[in-house]
């Protein structure tokens, strides 16, 4: 790669950090306002009592737990996908990985808030943590909620490391191109990075270890989230298929979130030269594969329930299949299966617009999927006398949907402070063949980094 091209990449990708337009402030104000509204709504819930929500006997989980599962699912966008792409050394991954890893970290942060948001007494949330209390009471390690705590924390720690490691050389680039306060901040963040072969070697090995270690963690996280449901004797919850079903759904919604984020970044940060139609097409193919897998799991879940013909299960089954929840159910099937199959199956439609439309559908569909797993079962549990209908109230609706604004806010802020595309990875050559990438990248990038120093 020529020094000129390399300089242009650096210029293009560092520009969003140094130049701030009024649109940035507008977006931050807009999304920040929505998040502040939601925080107020939640504080009012804590103040007036949980009764301001639509939660009721016997539907004790609703929008909050739906959002929890949904966002933990979205978090599989990143680390998992980028780890897989790194391990198979897919060259087209380079501009995509950081967008994806950021989604993971932020989605986990948002998702992990919901177990606290939905508590009856959130001020005692620390009782979920295993800390040596003076009364020697530990959390109940048999509870799937405590497993969640460990799984999510492990995944969050791993994802943050996985995100931070490849950011170090980029921090160094920004450090070398900035002055004043910004220089001092990025100098601290760059951890003394000088681009020596030794440092490159260590970075590569650390990332390789993390990529391998994060895969089982990612799979375990959503399996454990699915255990929240499959461990309870509730009709249509107690299913052995929930682990892989949830993981597949999580990766599915994660890819969709990644495609949307990439399309937005491409447009607003003018990254047309870096996020190419090819990337969207490849991710569209992944989306197609996951749509087929998801369709298989739903079909399997439904068919097994239907053949088992248990009275309690069948009550829930028909409720989603053709009674009150049927409109939502069939919307989900169309959004998650029919639409992606058509849009991603036909090559001509696998464009940027096509993949984004399919992804928006998948986001809607996957949110509905989580809702349809939780609410119809709880409202139709065994004894017909105790059936109940859940109607979400404004507080829950605001809090649940403001999370999208929270995600956007975090993303906007992140893109302001960190190059959203990994500069050094991009420079290590998108078209280089799989073998020899590592060697080639070392030389090229360390030269580039050194060359960028004033």
Partner 1 sequence: MAADLDRCTGCGACVTACHAENNISTVGADQAARGRAKHWIRVERYWEGEFPDVQLKFRPVMCQQCDNAPCEPVCPTYASHHTPDGLNAQVYNRCIGTRYCANACPYNVRFFDFFNPSWDKPLHLQLNPDVSLREVGVMEKCTFCVQRIKSAQIQAKAEDRKLADGEVQPSCAQACPAKALVFGDLDDPESAVSRLTRSPRGSKLLEDVGTRPNVAYLSRQTEV
Q: Contact region for partner 1 (CB under 8 A) — 49-57, 91-99, 103-111, 435-443? A: 49-57
Q: Does the footprint of partner 1 cover residue 132 (CB under 8 A)?
A: no
Under rule CB under 8 A, residue 51 binds partner 1: yes
As measured in angstroms, the least distance from the Cβ of 380 to partner 1 is 11
Does residue 397 belong to the site contacting partner 1 (CB under 8 A)?
no
- CA 75 to CA 112: how far, in whole Å? 11
Considering only the stretches 339-347, 382-390, 418-426, 433-441, report the one whose residues sit in contact with partner 1 under the rule CB under 8 A: 382-390
- In the complex, the smallest distance separating the C-beta of residue 325 from partner 1, rounded to whole angstroms, is 18
Stretch that binds partner 1, among 142-150, 199-207, 335-343, 349-357 (CB under 8 A): 142-150
How many other C-beta atoms can be found within 10 angstroms of the C-beta atom of residue 426?
23
Cβ closest to partner 1, residue 137 vs residue 326: 137
25 is a site residue for partner 1 (CB under 8 A): no
375 is an interface residue for partner 1 by CB under 8 A = no
Asked whether position 72 contacts partner 1 by CB under 8 A, the answer is: no
Min separation Cβ 303 and partner 1, Å:
22
Shortest Cβ distance from residue 121 to partner 1 (Å)?
Answer: 4
Nearer to partner 1 (CB atom), residue 244 or residue 388:
388
DSSP-assigned states of every residue in 297-349: HHHHHHHHHHHH--HHHHHHHHHHHTSTTHHHHHHHHIIIIIHHHHHHHSGGG
Name the segment binding partner 1 (CB under 8 A); options: 215-223, 288-296, 374-382, 439-447.
Answer: 374-382
Under the criterion CB under 8 A, does residue 198 sit at the interface with partner 1? no
Query: Closest separation between CB of residue 291 and partner 1, Å?
Result: 30
The secondary structure element, H or E, covering residue 6 is helix 3-18
C-alpha dihedral, 436 to 442 to 447 to 453, nearest 10°: 150
- Token readout for 212 is 């391998």
> Chain centroid to CA 313: how far?
31
Residues 6+ apart with CB under 8 A from 167: 98, 189, 418, 422
Residue 386 interacting with partner 1 (CB under 8 A): yes
Using CB under 8 A as the binding rule, the residues of this chain from 220 to 239 that contact partner 1 are 228, 231-234
When asked if residue 188 is in the footprint of partner 1 (CB under 8 A), the reply is no
Residue in this structure with the two tokens 């993303």, named with its chain if needed? 411
User: How many CB atoms within 10 Å of residue 308?
Assistant: 10
CB 349 within 8 A of CB 340: no
| Span 343-372, contacts to partner 1 by CB under 8 A | none
Backbone angles phi, psi at 337, to 5 degrees: -125, -60
**137 near partner 1 (CB under 8 A):** yes
Cα 244 to Cα 55, 338, 378, distances in angstroms = 29, 21, 22
Contact between 394 and partner 1 (CB under 8 A)? no
Rounded Cα distance between 80 and 251, Å, is 8
Binds partner 1 (CB under 8 A): choice among 2, 136, 142, 180: 142
Locate all alpha helices (DSSP H) within 177-310, ordered by sequence: 180-189, 197-230, 242-268, 277-308
Closer to partner 1 at the Cβ: 242 or 337?
242
Binding partner 1 (rule: CB under 8 A), the pick from 2, 140, 240, 435 is 140
Q: Does 4 bind partner 1 (CB under 8 A)?
A: no
* Integer Cα distance of 442 and 428 in angstroms: 8
Q: Is 429 exposed, middle or buried (0-12, 13-18, 19+ CB in 10 A)?
A: middle
Residue 281 CA to residue 262 CA, distance in Å, equals: 12
Min CB(306)–partner 1 separation in Å: 19
Asked whether position 180 contacts partner 1 by CB under 8 A, the answer is no
Pull the structure tokens for residue 448. 């580039």
Backbone dihedral angles phi then psi of residue 303, each to the nearest 5 degrees: -65, -45
How far apart are CB 112 and partner 1 at their closest, in Å?
14
Q: Does 49 bind partner 1 (CB under 8 A)?
A: yes
**Is the CB of 40 or the CB of 386 nearer to partner 1?**
386
CA atoms within 13 Å, Cβ hemisphere of 371: 21
Q: Quick one: tokens of 437? A: 């990438």
Show contacts with partner 1 in window 81-120 (CB under 8 A): 115, 118-120
Number of residues located near partner 1, criterion CB under 8 A: 44
The binder of partner 1 chosen from 58, 91, 345, 430 (CB under 8 A): 58
Say how many Å lie between the first and final Cα of the chain, rounded. Answer: 21
Contact positions vs partner 1 (CB under 8 A): 48-51, 54-61, 115, 118-122, 124-125, 127-128, 137, 139-140, 142-146, 149, 228, 231-234, 378, 381-386, 388
């Amino acid at each position: 790669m020529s020094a000129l091209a390399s300089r242009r990449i650096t210029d293009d990708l560092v520009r969003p950090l140094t130049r701030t337009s009024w649109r940035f402030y507008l977006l931050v104000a807009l999304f920040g306002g929505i998040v502040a509204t939601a925080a107020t709504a939640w504080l009012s819930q804590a103040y007036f009592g949980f009764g301001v929500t639509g939660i009721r006997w016997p539907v004790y989980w609703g929008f909050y737990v739906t959002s929890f599962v949904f966002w933990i699912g979205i978090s599989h966008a990143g680390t998992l996908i980028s780890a897989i792409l790194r391990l198979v050394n897919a060259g087209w991954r380079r501009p995509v990985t950081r967008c994806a890893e950021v989604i993971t970290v932020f989605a986990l942060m948002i998702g992990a808030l919901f177990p606290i948001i939905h508590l009856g007494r959130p001020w005692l949330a620390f009782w979920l943590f295993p800390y040596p209390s003076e009364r020697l009471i530990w959390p109940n390690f048999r509870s799937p909620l405590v497993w969640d705590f460990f799984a999510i924390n492990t995944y969050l720690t791993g994802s943050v490391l996985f995100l931070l490691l490849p950011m170090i050389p980029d921090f160094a680039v920004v450090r070398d191109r900035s002055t004043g306060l910004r220089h001092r901040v990025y100098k601290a963040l760059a951890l003394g990075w000088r681009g020596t072969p030794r440092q490159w070697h260590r970075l590569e090995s650390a990332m390789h270890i993390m990529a391998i270690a994060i895969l089982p963690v990612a799979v375990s996280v959503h399996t454990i989230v699915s255990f929240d449901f499959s461990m309870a004797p509730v009709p249509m919850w107690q299913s052995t298929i929930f682990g892989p079903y949830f993981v597949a759904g999580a990766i599915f919604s994660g890819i969709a979130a990644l495609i949307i984020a990439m399309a937005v970044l491409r447009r607003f940060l003018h990254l047309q030269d870096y996020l190419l139609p090819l990337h969207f097409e490849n991710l569209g193919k992944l989306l197609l594969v996951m749509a087929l897998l998801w369709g298989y799991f739903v079909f399997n879940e439904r068919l097994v329930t239907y053949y088992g013909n248990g009275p309690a299960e069948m009550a829930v089954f028909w409720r989603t299949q053709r009674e009150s929840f049927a409109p939502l159910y069939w919307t989900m099937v169309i959004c998650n299966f029919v639409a992606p199959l058509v849009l991603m199956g036909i090559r001509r439609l696998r464009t940027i617009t096509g993949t984004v439309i399919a992804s928006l559908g998948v986001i809607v569909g996957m949110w509905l999927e989580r809702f349809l797993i939780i609410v119809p079962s709880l409202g139709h549990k065994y004894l017909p006398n105790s059936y109940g209908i859940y109607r979400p109230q404004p507080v829950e609706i605001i809090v649940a949907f403001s999370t999208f604004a929270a995600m956007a806010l975090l993303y906007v802020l992140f893109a302001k402070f960190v190059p959203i595309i990994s500069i050094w990875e991009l420079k290590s050559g998108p078209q280089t063949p799989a073998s020899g990438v590592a060697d080639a990248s070392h030389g090229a990038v360390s030269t580039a980094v050194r060359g960028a120093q004033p």
